[in-house]
Amino acid sequence: MTSSLCDLPAREIVRRVRSRECSAVDVLEATLARIRAVEGRSPRTSPYEPADSDREKVHAFITLTDGRARAQAEAVDRALAAGEDPGALAGIPLAVKDIFCVRGTLSTAGSRILENFVAPYTATPVERLEAAGAVTVGKVNLDEFTFGSSNESSAFLPPPGNPWDPRRVPGGSSGASAAAVAAGEAALSLGTDTAGSIRQPAAFCGVVGLKPTYGRVSRYGLIAFASSLDCPGPIARDVSDAALMLGIIAGADPRDATAAAVPVPDYLENLEAGVRGLRIGLSPDYFRIQVPGPGTGELREQAIAPEIEAAVRRAAGVLEQAGAVVIDDVPMPNTRFGIPAYFVVSRVEAASNLHRYDGVKYGYRYPEPVADLRQMYRRTRGQGFGPQPKLRILMGMYVSAEQYEKGYYQRALRVRTLIRSDFAKAFDPSGPYRLDALLTATTPTTAFELGAVYGDSVLMQYADLLTVPADHAGVPGLSIPAGLDSAGLPIGVQFLGPDFSEGMLLRIARAYEMATEGEAWRMARPRVLEIA
C-alpha cells in the first residue's frame, strides 16, 4: 500500500491544510480510503464466529461518524477560504475511544448495556479537539467499560487486531485507539489510562501514548471506571503530535472539579531543547517483576522479556550519549504491590460507578415482562453486562463489604501512599536521586496472541504491572516506541515524571526520537499496511 495523506504526522496535515496545499476534505477522503482498506468487518454485538480473514484486519471502529467528519472537514475548508483561523488541529483525523460521550453519536463503552445509547452531550476533551479543527472520523473499540488489557472483553466483536500482526492483540483498553493510529485510520486518538490503558496499547502497536497527571485533563463526559485513577490522554504516531494534542485537551474545566487549576504550558515550545544535564533513572524493580505462575497462580519473580530490557538499556545509553546523566539502581520497592492494590481500589470504584446502569433512564432494559422492578434490574444487568463488569462489581462489593473486607480497602489506599512515596523519593530535588524522569519498560512482553490470556482475569491484570504504579501515584507517564523484537513486534519504553511534568517527559522522549531517527526499525511498517 502506498502511503498517503493519512500517514502524515498530524502537524504536517495541519500545515498543508492551513497553507491550502490540500483540503481538509482531501485528508478525510484519504483517511476513509485507508479505513476501507484495512478495517475489515465492523465489530458488532451479534454472535461472533471468528473467520480467518478477520485476522488480517484492524476492526477498530464501532461507529464511523463520516457524516460528522465531512461536515467538520468542510467547515475547516470554508473557514480557510473565508480567511478565518480554522484552529490548531485543522483537518486532523481523530478517533475517539468509545468511552467518551460525543453528542449525537452512539457512545457504547464497548458494552451491550449501552449499545444504543446516544450521548446528549460532548466530553470536554473531545469538545476542545473539535473546536480546534480536529475531524472526528469515529468511535473506536475498547475493553468493555475499559476493563481489560487486550480489547477482547468488548461486547463488540471481532476484537481489534494489532496492525503489526492482526493475530495478536493491540493491548487495552485503548487498543483500537492505538491500532487505528498505527494503521493510519486516524492521526490522533483520545484514549484513557486507569492502569496503563493508554501506554500499554501504545507500546504494543508501536505508537506514542501519554497518560497525563491525574487532573491535567478533564474527565467530564468520560464514562467513569475508577474515578480516582481515570486519565484521558493522547495517542499519536510521534512525540510532537502527542505534545500538540495535550496542549489542546489539558486545563481546568468548570464541569470537572478534579481538573486542576494548573496553567497549561506550550508543550511544543521546548520540545527540542535536548537532555543535556537531565537525570534519568533506571530501577531494578521495573526489570525484575512478580507475576502469577501458569496454573498455580502463585507469584514468582522473573525478568521482563530480555529484548525489552535491552531496549530500555539501549534507550538509556542513547540519552546518555545526548548528554543526560543516567542513574542506576533507583529503588522503587512498592512497584510489586501495584496490581494487588489496584485489584482493590479500582474494583470498589468500578462497582460504585456501575450501579447507575439499571435499565431505567437510558441504555438497555430487559425487554420481556418481569415480576417487579428488582427482577428488571437483575435481568437487565445480567444480560447487559459482560463478564468483566460483573467480576469488577462483585469484587468491589466483596472487598468493601464490612463483614468480608478484612481492612483490604484501607490497606490498599495506604499502599497507594507507599507507591507514591517511591516516586516522591526518586524525584525529590534534594534527595539522593533527583530524577527528572524514570525510564522503564512499558510492558513486560510484546503483544500476545488473541486468546492467549483472555479468560484468566489475574494474568490479564498483570499485563499492567509496569504501568499501574504511575496511576496509583497520579504522576504522568509517556510510552514511546523503542524498537522491534525478533518477531517484528513493537517494543515500548516509558518515561515517568513528577506531577505536571508532561513537558519534560515529552522533551526527553523527543530527544530519544531525534537520536534514533535514522535507525532501521523506524522504517518498518505495520503488516496490515503491507497486505491490504
List, by residue number, the catalytic residues: 97, 173, 197
Quote the DSSP letter at residue 447.
P
Nearer to another protein, 136 or 213 (CB): 213
402 alpha-carbon distance from chain centroid: 34
Nearest to 266 by CA among 285, 277, 251: 251
Cβ at position 211, least distance to another protein in Å = 11
Q: Are strands 325-327 and 279-281 parallel, antiparallel or unpaired?
A: parallel
Backbone angles phi, psi at 19, to 5 degrees: -90, 5
In the complex, the smallest distance separating the C-beta of residue 398 from another protein, rounded to whole angstroms, is 6
User: What is the footprint of another protein within residues 298-327 (CB under 8 A)?
Assistant: 299
Rounded CA separation 214/128 (Å): 18
d(CA 178, CA 162): 9
Q: How far is the CB of 420 from another protein (least distance, A)?
A: 6
Among 297, 317, 431, 451, binds another protein (CB under 8 A): 297
Q: Which is nearer to another protein, 209 or 359 (CB)?
A: 359
Binding string, residues 325-364; x marks residues near another protein by CB under 8 A: ---------x-xx-xxx-xx------x------xxxxxxx
Residues 223-252: x where in contact with another protein by CB under 8 A, - otherwise, as a string: -----xx----------------------x
Q: Which residue, 382 or 451, is less far from another protein as judged by CB? A: 382
Least distance from another protein to the Cβ atom of residue 27, Å: 31
100 by DSSP, 3-state: which? strand
List the one residue from 50, 323, 382, 488 that touches another protein (CB under 8 A): 382
Q: Which of 293, 387, 431, 432 binds another protein (CB under 8 A)?
A: 387
Q: How far apart are CA 443 and CA 336, in angstroms?
A: 14
Should residue 117 be labelled a site residue for another protein when binding is judged by CB under 8 A? yes
Rule CB under 8 A: is residue 220 a binding residue for another protein?
Answer: no
Q: Which three cell numbers stand for residue 402?
A: 464490612
* Region from 55-63, 189-197, 209-217, 269-277 binding another protein, contact rule CB under 8 A: 209-217
Q: How far is the CB of 16 from another protein (least distance, A)?
A: 37
Q: Around Cβ 521, how many Cβ atoms within 10 Å?
A: 16
Nearest distance in Å: CB 308, another protein = 23
Q: What is the largest CA-CA distance in the chain?
A: 72
**What SS3 state is found at 149?**
coil
d(CA 77, CA 91): 8
Q: Does 385 bind another protein (CB under 8 A)?
A: yes
Interface size with another protein, residues (CB under 8 A): 84
Residue 479 C-beta: closest distance to another protein, Å: 18
Span of 2-10, 273-281, 319-327, 373-381 interacting with another protein by CB under 8 A: 373-381
Q: Given candidates 3, 302, 321, 410, which one binds another protein under the rule CB under 8 A?
A: 410
Query: Could you tell me the smallest distance in angstroms from the CB atom of residue 262 to another protein?
Result: 5
The residues facing 253 across adjacent strands are 256
Per-residue exposure over 35-50, b if at least 16 CB sit within 10 Å of its own CB, e if not: bebbbbeebebeeeee
In whole angstroms, how close is the CB of 457 to another protein at the nearest point? 5
Residue 222 Cα to chain centre, angstroms? 13
Nearest to 183 by CA among 27, 62, 34, 8: 34
Say how far apart CA 250 and CA 262 lie, in whole Å: 9
Q: Tell me the angle at which helices 66-81 and 24-38 cross, rounded to the nearest 10 degrees.
A: 160
Stretch that binds another protein, among 15-23, 159-167, 192-200, 366-374 (CB under 8 A): 366-374
Residues of span 388-407 touching another protein by CB under 8 A: 390-391, 393-395, 397-399, 401, 404
Task: State the nearest-atom distance from the C-beta of 147 to another protein, in Å.
Answer: 12
- β-bridge partners, 106: 118
Part in contact with another protein (CB under 8 A); list of ranges 127-135, 307-315, 367-375, 436-444: 367-375
Nearer to another protein, 239 or 376 (CB): 376
Site for another protein in 441-500 (CB under 8 A): 456-458, 461, 471-475, 499
Q: Are strands 288-292 and 437-441 parallel, antiparallel or unpaired?
A: unpaired
- Spatial separation of the C-alpha atoms in residues 471 and 474, rounded to whole Å: 5
Which residue stretch of 67-75, 179-187, 259-267, 321-329 sits at the interface with another protein (rule: CB under 8 A)? 259-267
Q: Give the range of 25-33, 194-202, 380-388, 485-493 binding another protein by CB under 8 A.
A: 380-388
Q: Of 212 and 481, which CB lies nearer to another protein in the complex structure?
A: 212
Residues 229, 234, 235, 239: is their CA dihedral positive or negative? negative
209 vs 201: CA distance, rounded Å: 8
Between 166 and 474, whose beta carbon lies closer to another protein? Answer: 474
Distance CA 411, CA 193 (A): 23
SS3 371: coil
Which of the ranges 10-18, 43-51, 130-138, 368-376 carries the binding residues for another protein, by CB under 8 A?
368-376
Residue 469: cis peptide before it, omega within 30 degrees of 0: no
List the one residue from 413, 452, 514, 524 that touches another protein (CB under 8 A).
413
Whether the Cβ atoms of residue 206 and residue 526 lie closer than 8 Å to each other: yes
Which residues, 120 to 159, sit near another protein by CB under 8 A?
Answer: 120-121
The amino acid occupying position 393 is I
